[in-house]
Structure 1
Amino acid sequence: MRPVLFAIPVVLLLAAVSVFTGVGSLAASDDGRGWLLVVESRLPRTLALMLAGAGLAVSGTIMQMLARNSFVEPSTAGTAESAALGMLLAMLIAPGLPVAGKMAFATLTALAGTALFLQILRRVPLRSALMVPLIGLMLGGVVNAVTTFIAYRYDLMQSMGAWMSGDFSVVLRGRYELLWIGFALTLVAYATAARFTVIGMGEAIARNVGLDYDKVVILGLAIVSMVTATVVATVGMIPFLGLVVPNIVSLTLGDNLRRTLPVVAISGAGLVLACDIVGRMVIAPYEVPVGTVMGVIGSLVFLYLLLSRRSHAG
């Protein structure tokens, strides 16, 4: 409980900084423009950052339990690329669909892509833990290549770029509310945290203690796919977030998800808030997308984890 009590004030402070950071002035005026800016843009953006960060961090934790590998998360398992493919197919098949309908397409393709990734892991001899993210990155590359070809063929490259950029600059009230679905799924993940902890110990142990292994795996895939789809459909993908946060929390608190999931969710929200603040301040009044900032940080942490695992193996 102590880590949660420490993390909450930090996240609230970052949220306050996020609300008051930006080009527009919040100074009081007779026409109420400052208050309108807060209600219509700054507050929705801050909430979107927190919801996306918490959802992706928890999704990364669940994926690591399902794959039993600490290097797996939506952007290293082909899940994000599969969700982008679903968004593209929705635009081609039913261009008049609302965002929720496109998210449903993205959920189905993300679910299929993640399930395919897990099936490949079952059939490939994994002599090293480093093979798992390598397989995921290769699968994501194939899916991304197919998506790029289709997008280029139908002149939708700009839309595809938006789905993968992780840009919160366009978030306004009425355009982020789908992310609350991710928050609801985070609560579901916490309610079933003990089952995912057992799943992380292996299929044999899970079945020996009487756990319905297949149902828990399907639940985990559904949570990961829906959260990833909502984030991709709303603001675009944020790479490596689901890898960095769970690994740092696991190193300090262990792998009991009932204990660590609240810390993972709060830390994910805080990290995305911090990346957004940095992105808005580095080249102000312009912005660097959150996905770009997180990509730099996450790739460095990813390399550190890979090198440290290699040194321990040696």
Structure 2
Amino acid sequence: MQKNFIPGIENGSQYRIYNQNKIWTKPFILAIIVVISLGIVSLFTGVYDIRGQEDGMDMFFITRVPRTVALMLTGAAMAMTGLVMQLITQNRLVEPTTTGTIEWAGLGLLFVYLLFPGPTLVLRMTGAIIFSFIGTMIFFLFIKRVRLRSSLIVPIIGLMLGAVISAVSTFMGLFFQMSQVIEGWFVGSFSSVQAGRYEYLWIIVVVTFLIFIYANRLTLAGLGEDVAKSLGVNFNTLILVANGLIAVAVGIVAAVIGNLPFLGLIVPNIVSMFRGDDLRSNLPWVCLIGMGTITLCDIISRTIIIPFEVPVSLILGSVGSVVFIAILLRQRKPRRQR
């Protein structure tokens, strides 16, 4: 039987799909230029006059370059973990801040400090990664048993679990007189980043590469457990792999930088609004916009009350909370009014 169709409409639809999945488009190249520009501004932003001092170039490579590189890697990591978590939970409001993952990482750091006085960065990262993985698995097991799966219930469960873990961490910090560890972790800042203290963030590049390899299977997992299994995907193993990659990225950022709220919520939602839910084609966009967002917030944190510096988590949390409320209101808006 001959199919009736309009060639122009079909070809136009195929072109739009092809164009949407392309990575090297004019908007993407423009976004790269904007992010590079923000990186250059970050390199030359600060109180110390690197051009007027004899050791200016030394300070440039000891502090400014590592800080800018750390901003890029951290922004990509947190935005990427938010994208993966939203995909496998089928929920736009899920990210490490709203699942308790970041609070579990803080608890892991506290345990490392209790067991090993004056721990190395590798020990802190290991503790944060292990506890992040445990916390993320507990969250997934918890929501798997909850039948009411509305878009609001899932992040509320995560926020509840995160609040409990945060309370446990605070109590332990006060009981063992290590509250300075908790306070330092809650204030996410790049002010302490310098050469020799950020290089482990390069592991995030490996994590990104692995997520790109698993991108198609993670996209299928985002269709639901039943659909993924019917298409030949080992759903449970894939969830373990995804949680492991998320734990590595979050643990490294928590150990090196600290708590960076809402970055994994803002960026993936913005990208999904314009490009859909294909992880493979969205991942470069998410990483790039994550870099630009955190770099812009850091520049603001360094200049808003110059010569002093505001923690970047304060700027990021303020922007993220507004976007979080906007997303909530948008989801509650009746479909006929959209």
Question: With structure 2 as the length reference, what TM-score do the two structures score?
Answer: 0.90
Q: Give the counterpart letter for 1:124 in structure 2.
A: V
Q: Give the counterpart letter for 1:16 in structure 2.
A: I
CA distance in 2 between counterparts of 1:127 and 1:104 reads 33
Helix, strand or coil at the partner of 1:178 = helix
CA distance in 2 between counterparts of 1:177 and 1:120 reads 35
Of the three residues 70, 75, 97, the one matched with 2:97 is 75
Of the three residues 237, 247, 252, the one matched with 1:215 is 237
Partner of 1:197: 219
CA distance in 2 between counterparts of 1:171 and 1:236 reads 11
1:111 pairs with 2:136: no
Instruction: Give how far 1:183 is off.
Output: 2.2
Partner of 1:277: 299
Instruction: Give how far 1:114 is off.
Output: 0.6
CA distance in 2 between counterparts of 1:160 and 1:183 reads 28
Partner of 2:36: 12
User: Residues 54 and 269 of structure 1 are in contact (CA less than 8 Å); yes or no, is this contact kept in structure 2?
Assistant: yes
Partner of 1:174: 196
CA distance in 1 between counterparts of 2:181 and 2:89 reads 31
1:296 pairs with 2:318: yes
Instruction: Give how far 1:55 is off.
Output: 0.4
Partner of 1:245: 267
1:128 pairs with 2:150: yes
Please list the CA deviations of residues 233-287 of structure 1 after superposition, one character each: whole Å capped at 9, or x if unmatched: 0010110000000000000111101100000001101100000001111100111
User: Residues 199 and 206 of structure 1 are in contact (CA less than 8 Å); yes or no, is this contact kept in structure 2?
Assistant: yes
Instruction: Single out whichever of 170-179 and 78-87 deviates more from structure 2.
Output: 170-179
1:232 pairs with 2:254: yes
Instruction: Give how far 1:68 is off.
Output: 1.2
Written as runs of structure 1 = structure 2, the 5 A alignment for 1:43-82 is 43-82=65-104
Please list the CA deviations of residues 101-122 of structure 1 after superposition, one character each: whole Å capped at 9, or x if unmatched: 1211111111111111111101
Q: Give the counterpart letter for 2:194 in structure 1.
A: L
Of the three residues 164, 174, 177, the one matched with 1:142 is 164
Q: Give the counterpart letter for 1:101 in structure 2.
A: L
Please list the CA deviations of residues 25-80 of structure 1 after superposition, one character each: whole Å capped at 9, or x if unmatched: 12155x3x110111000000000111000001000011111211110000100000
Instruction: Give how far 1:313 is off.
Output: 6.3
CA distance in 1 between counterparts of 2:28 and 2:184 reads 33
Helix, strand or coil at the partner of 2:49 = coil
Instruction: Give how far 1:312 is off.
Output: 2.9
Q: Give the counterpart letter for 1:250 in structure 2.
A: S
User: Residues 302 and 309 of structure 2 are in contact (CA less than 8 Å); yes or no, is this contact kept in structure 1?
Assistant: yes
User: Residues 188 and 311 of structure 2 are in contact (CA less than 8 Å); yes or no, is this contact kept in structure 1?
Assistant: yes
CA distance in 2 between counterparts of 1:187 and 1:293 reads 29
Instruction: Give how far 1:159 is off.
Output: 1.3
1:90 pairs with 2:112: yes
CA distance in 1 between counterparts of 2:164 and 2:257 reads 23
Helix, strand or coil at the partner of 2:60 = helix
Partner of 1:38: 60
Q: Give the counterpart letter for 1:21 in structure 2.
A: T
1:23 pairs with 2:51: no
Instruction: Give how far 1:215 is off.
Output: 1.5
Which structure is larger by alpha-carbon Rg, 1 or 2?
2
Structure 2 unaligned spans of 5+: 1-22
Instruction: Single out whichever of 157-166 and 203-212 deviates more from structure 2.
Output: 157-166
Q: Give the counterpart letter for 1:11 in structure 2.
A: V
Please list the CA deviations of residues 126-158 of structure 1 after superposition, one character each: whole Å capped at 9, or x if unmatched: 252110110100000000000000001111111
Q: Give the counterpart letter for 1:247 in structure 2.
A: N
CA distance in 1 between counterparts of 2:160 and 2:324 reads 16
User: Residues 90 and 102 of structure 1 are in contact (CA less than 8 Å); yes or no, is this contact kept in structure 2?
Assistant: yes
CA distance in 1 between counterparts of 2:169 and 2:133 reads 16
Q: Give the counterpart letter for 1:51 in structure 2.
A: L
Identity across matched positions, percent: 41
CA distance in 1 between counterparts of 2:325 and 2:130 reads 31
Partner of 1:163: 185
Structure 1 unaligned spans of 5+: none
CA distance in 2 between counterparts of 1:66 and 1:218 reads 11
Helix, strand or coil at the partner of 2:195 = coil
CA distance in 2 between counterparts of 1:65 and 1:125 reads 19
User: Residues 188 and 259 of structure 2 are in contact (CA less than 8 Å); yes or no, is this contact kept in structure 1?
Assistant: yes
CA distance in 2 between counterparts of 1:9 and 1:100 reads 34
Helix, strand or coil at the partner of 2:247 = helix
CA distance in 1 between counterparts of 2:39 and 2:28 reads 16
